[in-house]
Each structure stands twice: as structure tokens, then as C-alpha cells.
Amino acid sequence: MKKSAALFCALCAIVSTQKIKAQDVKSTSKFYVKVTGSYYFSVFPGQFPKVGSYEPHDERLVFNPATGASTTVSEKVLTGSYGAGGRGGLSFGWNLNQYIAVEASFNYYRSKKNLMTREETTLINTSQTVGKVESHGYVDAIDFAPGVVISPGFKKVNPYVRFGMVVPLWGNLKIETDASRSGTANVGGQTVLTQLTVHRNEKVKPNITLGFQGAVGVAFPIAKKLDIIVEAEYRNIPVRSKEKEVTSYDETVALRNPTTGAVISTQHRGLDDLSTAERHTKYVTTLDQSSNTPVGQQGAEVSYKDDNKPANDLKSYINIGGLGANIGLRWRF
């Protein structure tokens, strides 16, 4: 009887041990979903790319109508990064064990607007503006970020590190430009005022690239299956331009009576009036004699070697990485 009782106890102990082991494995092999919101700050700012023929400068000029010459009175290089902005993410993870998890994130990012170029011309000895060009740019992007998460496996407050790659799935640099210019012209033997205004939107498409992500975070359990996540993350995603397209264009030239200011006539050009070279640009590493580059300009209309083919310009580089603060919720299943 005693032997039977001892054998029964031994079997119970073995079953209990196996059950505990199974529970341990189950508790360390859970699927989770994480939702985060972030704001990133730019680090390592660099010089912005050119906008058409305009350098990334903030320049002030004065125009002398007597000589027809414009003189620069101040000039500043514009620097910054497209790494500053907001990001929202949805992550799926799997705990391989108590200490290591694999994670896959999908993120939408939009940078803040950056001043890319500005050129303002005033009439000499006055504050009257006779010409101005100003462009702002921002980035929209969606990326996929696979990574590995390592933690000490604490049951309460659990710190961790996360690192991996960033693979951009879609994204564009969008540039908005407004320009104006005032002057005079001789029409039918009479001097009239001219006023040119241009609004243009451009979209720069990138080449395929890879980036790096690394984060330090802490998980705070607030319910049985729910954690609050707080992270500091660094991302480095260099992007080079592939091609550019003008997506909207509005140009108006108004001729005005110099005495009354009344409009005599107007001319208009829209998106469909642009040549293929004005509307499309392909970026290259080297410009040479065979490149389709500008050969002349009349008003805002630019002529190229071949107006029926996309223009060529030098590749530019931007970085959409930065240092960010993430906060979110993680549901464990």
C-alpha cells in the first residue's frame, strides 16, 4: 500500500513538473501586437539639395533699374534634415523565449516642412519686393522595420534593447514652390508693368535603399495582457533621388497699365502646357554633353536640348533618420 502511494505521488510529481514546464514554455512564447506614436528630432543636419537651378540658400538681393544689375547683400546656406517629424507604427512580435523576441513593424512617417531655398530681390534704396522665389519640402514615407528585441525578462518593469533594419516601401520628397517677379515691358511702343506669379508642386521619387534602427525601451505592465511602451530610438535612412515629376503647375503673366494698375491682358500656363523636359527629370551621377540640360529661358519657360525627353540633373541625397521618442501600447496574446 505504501509502495502504491509512493508510486502515485511520484507520478503526480512527474505530471506536475511537465505541466509547469509546458506553462513556462507557453508563457515565454507569446505573440504580441504593439501600436506606437513618435516624434523624431533631426540629427547630423546637412545641406539641402537644389530646387531646380536654385541653390539651397537664403539670399537677399537689390535691383538697380538704371543698370539692370542685381547685387547680393546677404546670403546664408540652408541646412537641416528630413529626420524631424511624426511617425505612427504597428508592430507584430513573437517571443522566442523569455529573453529574445523577433519583431516586424510597419510605420508611416511625415517630416516637418523645411525651407529649401529662398531668394528675394528688392528695388534699390527701397523695401519694395520685385522678385521672390521660396520653396519648402517635406517627406511622406512608409517603411518596414524587422528587428530583434533582447530583454532580461523581468515580470514587472522590463527594460530592453531593439535593433534591426529599415526597408522603405514607399515614399516621396514633395516640394512646393511659389515665385513672383515684377518689371516693365515695351508693348506696342508703350511701357507696361509685368507681373509673373508661379505656383509649382514637385514629387521626387527615391531609389531603393536600406536603413538601420536601434532603440532602448522599457515596458510597464498596466494589466494582465497590456503594457505601456516607452522608447528612445535612433534611425539612419540615407535616400538618393531617382526621378522627379511636376505634379501641379500654375503660371500667370499679367500686363498692367502703369498709371492705373488695371490689367491689360493675361497669359496662363498650366501643367499640360509644360514640355516633357520641364515636367519630368531623371537624376544621374554625371552630367556630360549627352545630358538633356537647359539651353535657354524666357520668363518661367525653360528650353532644353530636347524638350520631348525628360531632363537630366545630378543626384541629390537626403536623410530621413533621426532621434525619436516613442510611446505606445503592447497587447500580449
Q: Which residues pair with 327 in a beta bridge?
A: 37, 230
pLDDT the model gives residue 15: 37
Task: List the grid coordinates of 89.
Answer: 507604427
> So what's the pLDDT on residue 43?
84
Q: Are 168 and 145 in contact (CB under 8 A)?
A: no
The pLDDT of residue 20 is 37
Percent of the chain with pLDDT over 70: 91
Report whether pLDDT(17) > 60: no
Instruction: Enter the pTM of the model.
Output: 0.84
Cell output for 187 = 508693348
What are the pLDDT digits (tens) for 251-288?
999 998 888 888 888 999 999 999 999 999 999 999 99
Q: Does 13 have pLDDT greater than 90?
A: no
Residues 6+ apart with CB under 8 A from 265: 254, 255
HEC readout, 42-110: CCCCEECCCECCECCEEEEEEEECCCCEEEEEEEEECEECCCCEEEEEEEEEEECCCCEEEEEEEEEEE
pLDDT in tens, 234-249: 999 989 999 999 999 9
What mean pLDDT is predicted for residues 181-206? Answer: 90
Q: How confident is the model at residue 7 (pLDDT cuts 50, 70, 90)?
A: very low
What is the pairing mode between strands 226-236 and 46-47? unpaired
CA 231, CA 151: separation in Å to the nearest integer? 13
Which residues, at least 6 apart from 41, have a Cβ–Cβ distance to it below 8 Å?
83, 84, 322, 323, 324
Average pLDDT of the chain is 89
Which grid cell is 174? 514633395
Give the pLDDT band of residue 294 (cuts 50, 70, 90). very high
Percentage, residues of the chain above pLDDT 90: 72
Query: For 30-86, what is each residue's pLDDT tens digit?
Result: 899 999 999 999 887 888 888 988 899 999 999 998 888 999 999 999 988 899 999
314: pLDDT strictly greater than 60:
yes
Instruction: Please check the confidence at residue 222 and state whether its pLDDT lies above 70.
Output: yes
Domains of the chain and any CATH numbers = 28-332 (2.40.160.20)
What value does the mean pLDDT take over residues 121-132?
93
Residue 160, amino acid: Y
pLDDT value of position 19: 40
Residue 191 has pLDDT above 60, yes or no: yes
Instruction: Compute the distance between CA of residue 216 and CA of residue 325 in angstroms, rounded to an integer.
Output: 10
